[in-house]
Structure 1
Amino acid sequence: MRLAIINDWRLGVVDPVAGTVVDVHDALPWRHDPDPFGAGWWLRLCRELPHLRNAIGRAAAAGPPVPLDEVALRPPVLNPGKVIACACNYAGHVTEMRDRVMPERTAGAGRWLLDFDVFLKAPSSVCGPRDTVVLPATTPGGEEAPVHHEAELTVVIGTGGRDIPPERAMSHVLGYLIGLDMTVRASGDRSRRKSHDTFTPLGPWLTTADEVPDPHDIEIELRVGSEVRQKVNTAALLTRVDRIVNYASTCMRLEPGDVIMTGAPPGVGPVEDGDVLDVSMTGLGRMHVPVRAATHP
């Protein structure tokens, strides 16, 4: 099942082959709240989808399909309590960070930057698959620094928990989507450099875990214009999804609707005003994300 959030923050089921979506929101047993900041229905759905799947499926089969081009396609997550990101989870990215991207910061005492770990991005950085990444004019420290793209397989948590064992971790995953972890390549804390507004485009919809045969066999490709920048299979993940969920849950309690970005593949690079990021992942869809410079007041 492909779940989208459409129009005034309603639930839709997508048929990616037909290129259509059916509004199924009235199949949910809760009052619709059109205010995205108060719409707790999404977090309840993440937790309770197994009990609602049949009703949603019937509504999808009975409702009128609408072309995807005719709806507002929102971020396919709503009010995540946490956006957790993984650092250094592909060997090729570790190498490029050490040798090409930021050798001066990852040498000597900075070698810890090349170790796998998790960190937090601001949930307010989340935007949708048709939204525009806005490049900040400067960093808070006044630096002018490039912004890099990082295309990442992204996980959405269904059932939360603390200290989730690896052997049960995959049962806590609601589904998967495409994520872009936009990053200012400058000095300072990762969380700050990755939390600017629009720095977490997600989409185009959420594919439930039962529709993904193996999250460790997904082809990721990101192009800027005709240039292929990132191309990798998630088989190359150093820390797999079950271990990521396990590790993150030992640091912080995972809650329904939490988002986990699994790490940047090699090939990260700068984006500029006017670029369009074309990113696709096997079975998860495709996003075309434009980039523009900030407008000065």
Structure 2
Amino acid sequence: MKLALFDDHRLGVVDEAANGPVVVDVTDALGRPHDPDPLTAGWWRALARDYPRLREGLADAARTGEARPLDSVALHAPALNPSKIIACACNYADHVAEMHDVQERTLGGVESWMMNFDVFLKAPSSLSGPRDAIVLPEEIVAAGQEIHHESELVIVVGEGGTDIPEESALDHVFGYTLGLDITVRSAADRSRRKSYDTFSPLGPLLVTADEIGDPAGLEIRLDVNGEKRQDVRAADLLTPVPAIVSYASRMMTLLPGDLIFTGAPPGVGPIEPGDTLRSWIGGIGELALDVRRG
């Protein structure tokens, strides 16, 4: 099932039609009053947790409801107020290799500890939607620091937990979406460099885990101004999705609706005001984002 958050933070099911993708409002099938405030919308986290029980009712509502063209609605990021955004570092071998040159250029030397797989946190306030611009902070641009794109597969946690075994980790995944981990290249802590407003664009849709199946087959691409920068498959992850979920859950309790960025593919590079980024994951969709100066 492909899900969207749109207009007044309504829940929609997206499908293909003869004239393009359409969305059907299935909010009422959740069986609870709708709270449009993203700061208090616990219904979203409940959906992430309870999707297996709600799936049939949502599918029935999608079959019988009124379909609207997807481009006629205001799309939001397909996540509401997650308790945390977890992100993976150094999860593609070729990206680890390229970071030696990036760090030599931007830091004047290689930080060896940064070349190992691990997880870190990004601020939930860095989330932005599929039709929002990426805003580069004025002071960072003025200082001449590089700001890079990182196009990533993002896990949306379903039933959370602690110390989740790797063999059952996919049972704790609600779905997947596409995200960009926008990054200032500096000596500052990762969480600081990656948590500016609009530095976690997300969308356009969330595709539930039962539709994706094995996420290893997903292709991830990113172009900047029509030039290909990144093109990998999730199968290239050094630490695959089940191991990521298990590893993260050993450090922090995963809660329904939490987001996990799975790591930057090789091909990272600077973005500048005026650029247009197009990022795509097969089966999930495309983000087309303009870059501007704050």
How do residues 97-136 of structure 1 correspond to structure 2 at under 5 angstroms? 97-98=99-100, 100-103=101-104, 105=107, 110-136=111-137
How do residues 3-18 of structure 1 correspond to structure 2 at under 5 angstroms? 3-16=3-16, 18=20
1:213 shift after superposition: 2.9
1:107 shift after superposition: 5.0
**CA deviation string 1:146-201 (max 9, x = no partner):** 21000001000000000001011010001101110000111210000000000000
Q: Gaps (5+ residues) in structure 1?
A: none
Confirm or deny: 8 A CA contact 1:223 1:277 kept in the other structure. yes
**How far apart in 2 are the matches of 1:107 and 1:271?**
22
Among 17, 24, 27, the residue aligned to 2:26: 24
**How far apart in 2 are the matches of 1:185 and 1:143?**
12
How do residues 34-49 of structure 1 correspond to structure 2 at under 5 angstroms? 34-49=36-51
Residue of structure 1 equivalent to 2:62: 60
How do residues 180-195 of structure 1 correspond to structure 2 at under 5 angstroms? 180-195=180-195
Confirm or deny: 8 A CA contact 1:24 1:59 kept in the other structure. yes
Confirm or deny: 8 A CA contact 1:138 1:145 kept in the other structure. no
> Identical aligned pairs, as a percentage?
56
1:143 shift after superposition: 4.0
1:240 shift after superposition: 0.4
How do residues 168-247 of structure 1 correspond to structure 2 at under 5 angstroms? 168-247=168-247
**How far apart in 2 are the matches of 1:233 and 1:47?**
27
Confirm or deny: 8 A CA contact 1:97 1:106 kept in the other structure. no
Q: 20-29 vs 211-220, which deviates more?
A: 211-220
Residue of structure 1 equivalent to 2:147: 147
How do residues 86-105 of structure 1 correspond to structure 2 at under 5 angstroms? 86-98=88-100, 100-103=101-104, 105=107
**CA deviation string 1:220-266 (max 9, x = no partner):** 11001220000111111000001000100001000000000000000
**How far apart in 1 are the matches of 2:228 and 2:206?**
24
**How far apart in 2 are the matches of 1:127 and 1:21?**
20
**How far apart in 1 are the matches of 2:68 and 2:139?**
41
Confirm or deny: 8 A CA contact 1:106 1:113 kept in the other structure. no
Confirm or deny: 8 A CA contact 1:75 1:127 kept in the other structure. yes
TM-score by length of 2: 0.96
**How far apart in 1 are the matches of 2:242 and 2:24?**
32
**How far apart in 1 are the matches of 2:79 and 2:115?**
29
Residue of structure 1 equivalent to 2:253: 253
Seen in structure 2, the aligned counterparts of structure 1 residues 106 and 45 have a Cα distance that, compared at 3 Å, is farther
1:29 shift after superposition: 1.2
Confirm or deny: 8 A CA contact 1:137 1:144 kept in the other structure. no
1:138 shift after superposition: 1.6
Letter in 2 for 1:80: P
Seen in structure 2, the aligned counterparts of structure 1 residues 235 and 213 have a Cα distance that, compared at 3 Å, is same
Residue of structure 2 equivalent to 1:284: 284
Residue of structure 2 equivalent to 1:157: 157
Seen in structure 2, the aligned counterparts of structure 1 residues 106 and 54 have a Cα distance that, compared at 3 Å, is farther
Residue of structure 1 equivalent to 2:71: 69
Confirm or deny: 8 A CA contact 1:81 1:258 kept in the other structure. yes
TM-score by length of 1: 0.95
- Residue 3 of structure 2 aligns to a residue whose secondary structure is strand
Letter in 1 for 2:85: V
Q: Over aligned residue pairs, what C-alpha RMSD do you find? A: 1.5
The count of corresponding residues between Structure 1 and Structure 2 is: 291
- Residue 12 of structure 1 aligns to a residue whose secondary structure is strand
1:103 shift after superposition: 2.5
1:218 shift after superposition: 1.2
Confirm or deny: 8 A CA contact 1:181 1:201 kept in the other structure. yes
Seen in structure 2, the aligned counterparts of structure 1 residues 126 and 150 have a Cα distance that, compared at 3 Å, is same
1:43 shift after superposition: 0.5
